[in-house]
Structure 1
Amino acid sequence: MWSYDVDITTLAPTMVVVTREPDGRWYVTFAVDTANPPPQPHTGHEVGVDLGLHDFLVTSDGQRIANPRHLERKSRNLARYQRRMARCRPGSTNRRKARAKVARAHRKVRNARRDFPHRTSTRLVRGADIIAIEDLPIANLLRNRRLARVISDVAWGEFRTMLEYKAALAGRTMVVINRWYPSSKTCSNCGYVLVNLALSTRRWTCPTCRAHHDRDLNAAKNILAAGQAVAREFSGDACGADVRRQGNSLPRSALNQENPPAKAGLPDC
């Protein structure tokens, strides 16, 4: 989250909300109108981001951030508290205490889910001037019953939302790559595109240039290259029209109205 010095005694709250959570904790939330923080200084660094389930994300410069699996780590305690509550008599003091423990367990998972994407998105925004990320079809992926719980726990959509508004506040450029762009199947060295690449294949060798690729790192490099092409396009270089740039305050690419399959390799500039 962003933090900067503000004298709250000089601010007049526009709204105050007092809430009590099921575990008994009270919270006071107030909103104030204040100026946006100054843009972050330029870093001269650009990064492509490939999101996943084994690793939460892999960046084009080789950084890997593991999937924290918050719900999976807390599920054992949560299940134990729920069993204890089920054995208590309805309306009893013990049941009320057990229900509070269940609520506290849910709160810890919820807070961990919020904290992790905040920290990760802030680190990316502070470290790069251009951030390229893939447009994942999250709603479609959630229809997979085997993966829905894991995808919900990893919170890709919330992470992207945070990344978008933080990039806008910091004066960064965020580029969203078309979901049909074959970032994993394209060789980041020569541009050769594989016909098929199974999800279980984590490493592969390009049959043309014989370069060895890690699937996620290769995808992140291609996402960065496509994002750089869009950035050049909006600076006057007509290149990279098979991807799009998003954000309310950002210009749109020429072909963002449709989602056609991406071309093999990156366009030559």
Structure 2
Amino acid sequence: MKKAFKTEIRLTPEQKIKVHQTIGVCRYVYNLYVKTAQDHYKETGKHMSGYDFSKWLNNVYTKEHDPWIKEVSSKAVKQAIMNGDRAFRNFFKGLVQFPRFKKKKHQKVKAYFPKNNLTDLTVERHRIKVPTIGWVQLKEHGYIPTNAAVSSCTISQQADRYFLSVLCEAEGTSSTQINNHEGIGVDLGIQHFAICSHGELFGNINKTDTIKKIEKRLKRLQRKLSRSYEQNKQRKRGEFCAKNRQKMILRVQKLHARLSRIRQAYVRYVIQQLVKTKPLFITIEDLNVQGMMKNRHLAKAIASQGFYTFKQMLAAQCCKHGIELRQVDRWHPSSKLCSCCGEKNVTLRLSDRLFTCASCGIEMDRDVNASLNLKSATAYTILA
């Protein structure tokens, strides 16, 4: 089986320059492909494949306009083109939105380095040999297995930190142990992150003092950065120091990265607690996150919860430990059904936090009732 490992790396000043050049060229080529594919579709009505664009880029464009594109790894440039081609094909299939241009400040572009020679991507305890970059020191020693066959790697930047992600051919580690415990129903929400059918409750990490202080600091710093742009418009050209603005941008990026790491760490903690109970299955609900995000009052709270990240990580851990992951359809009335008698309360509103059954007279928290209904659901889709 293939397994990915991601860890932080330490780069020399020369290696940082090379990585910045590679990421910058990949971003430029991706945006160039998006613009060229748009114009080609408007003129001919047909999609311009990544293979045709790659031939035009190497034979025509680089010779007439930008020869510096060939100064970095050609495989990294090829991968950026294929990423753009995949984005267009997924858009035509109706899976994603229309491809957008990559911005430098978002730092979402990664440099791809495949294995070219036998000595490439050689892993030792404290370092790894990356093609065209050389030996790179690992910040976490011994995390990447030295005996695994590494096929490719990517280098990404987040604020002032650099991360390496490698894809290895590892031995199967999935558990075949039969769990004798009951299943668990997990209801995700905003007031509480997860409410489980076995009585465990996980609160909202975004309501803690740590997150609120970081968000308050981030809000002030973003206002300061916005004022610097406005002040620069009123001054004469050349009077504003660009280095000061870059420092402020870096501070904003660091705070965003810190918030992201705290939230992901909490999601991993919740999944660890669920898997630790060794249930037969875990049932979750297919939430319409895209529709929920249209509510401008709840959009920020929903986005900060990370429901998609939770489902992806939970599926990976369930596959690893031999736990069946079930997903109930989004139209399943888990909150309105009584977990005792099955009677449906059609008058239940979102503001009603207490579920009351008119048939059997039971009263309980609506989220706990939903988790119990998810546990006993019979119509579901198996994700892992």
Tell me what 1:164 maps to: 315
Tell me what 1:28 maps to: 164
Give the counterpart letter for 2:264 in structure 1. Answer: R
Give the counterpart letter for 2:215 in structure 1. Answer: S
Q: Report whether the alignment pairs 1:186 with 2:337.
A: yes
Q: Report whether the alignment pairs 1:105 with 2:271.
A: no
Question: For residues 163 and 343 of structure 2, what CA distance do their matches in structure 1 show?
Answer: 55
Higher-Rg structure is 2
Q: Report whether the alignment pairs 1:8 with 2:145.
A: yes
Give the counterpart letter for 2:204 in structure 1. Answer: N
| Superimposed CA distance per residue, residues 116-143 of structure 1 (whole angstroms, 9 cap, x where no aligned partner) | 2222223223322211111111121112
Alignment of 1:35-184 (within 5 A): 35-39=171-175, 41=177, 42-69=179-206, 74-88=214-228, 90-127=240-277, 128-184=279-335
Structure 2 counterpart SS, 1:13: strand
Give the counterpart letter for 1:64 in structure 2. Answer: L
Higher helix proportion (structure 1 or 2)? 2
Question: For residues 20 and 135 of structure 1, what CA distance do their matches in structure 2 show?
Answer: 32
Unaligned runs of 5+ in 1: 227-239, 250-269
Question: For residues 17 and 77 of structure 1, what CA distance do their matches in structure 2 show?
Answer: 32
The answer (yes or no) to whether the contact 2:174–2:319 under 8 Å persists in 1 is no
Q: Which has the higher contact order (CA 8 A, sep 6+)?
A: 1
Tell me what 1:256 maps to: none
Deviates more, 1:51-60 or 1:105-114: 105-114
Question: For residues 215 and 94 of structure 1, what CA distance do their matches in structure 2 show?
Answer: 51
Structure 2 counterpart SS, 1:79: helix
Q: TM-score, normalised by structure 2?
A: 0.55
Alignment of 1:225-244 (within 5 A): 225-226=376-377, 240=378, 243-244=379-380
| Superimposed CA distance per residue, residues 111-168 of structure 1 (whole angstroms, 9 cap, x where no aligned partner) | 1232222222232233222111111111211122221221111111221122122212
The answer (yes or no) to whether the contact 1:20–1:27 under 8 Å persists in 2 is yes
Could you say what the CA RMSD is over the residues aligned between the two structures, in angstroms? 2.5
Question: For residues 126 and 100 of structure 1, what CA distance do their matches in structure 2 show?
Answer: 38
Structure 2 counterpart SS, 1:9: coil
Give me the identity figure in percent: 28
Question: For residues 104 and 6 of structure 1, what CA distance do their matches in structure 2 show?
Answer: 24
Give the counterpart letter for 1:175 in structure 2. Answer: R
Question: For residues 349 and 174 of structure 2, what CA distance do their matches in structure 1 show?
Answer: 45
Give the counterpart letter for 2:146 in structure 1. Answer: T
Give the counterpart letter for 1:15 in structure 2. Answer: S
Question: For residues 210 and 73 of structure 1, what CA distance do their matches in structure 2 show?
Answer: 44
Give the counterpart letter for 1:102 in structure 2. Answer: V
Question: For residues 368 and 352 of structure 2, what CA distance do their matches in structure 1 show?
Answer: 13
The structural deviation recorded for 1:191 is: 1.5
Unaligned runs of 5+ in 2: 6-141, 233-239
The structural deviation recorded for 1:73 is: 5.1
Structure 2 counterpart SS, 1:32: strand
Deviates more, 1:214-223 or 1:73-82: 73-82
Deviates more, 1:52-61 or 1:174-183: 174-183
Structure 1 counterpart SS, 2:194: strand
1:214 to 333, 343, 365: 365
The structural deviation recorded for 1:40 is: 6.4
Structure 1 counterpart SS, 2:150: coil
Give the counterpart letter for 2:375 in structure 1. Answer: L
Structure 2 counterpart SS, 1:17: strand
Q: TM-score, normalised by structure 1?
A: 0.77
Runs of 4+ with >4 A deviation: 70-73, 87-90
Question: For residues 61 and 20 of structure 1, what CA distance do their matches in structure 2 show?
Answer: 41
Tell me what 2:20 maps to: none
Question: For residues 73 and 36 of structure 1, what CA distance do their matches in structure 2 show?
Answer: 43
Structure 1 counterpart SS, 2:381: coil
The answer (yes or no) to whether the contact 2:283–2:327 under 8 Å persists in 1 is yes
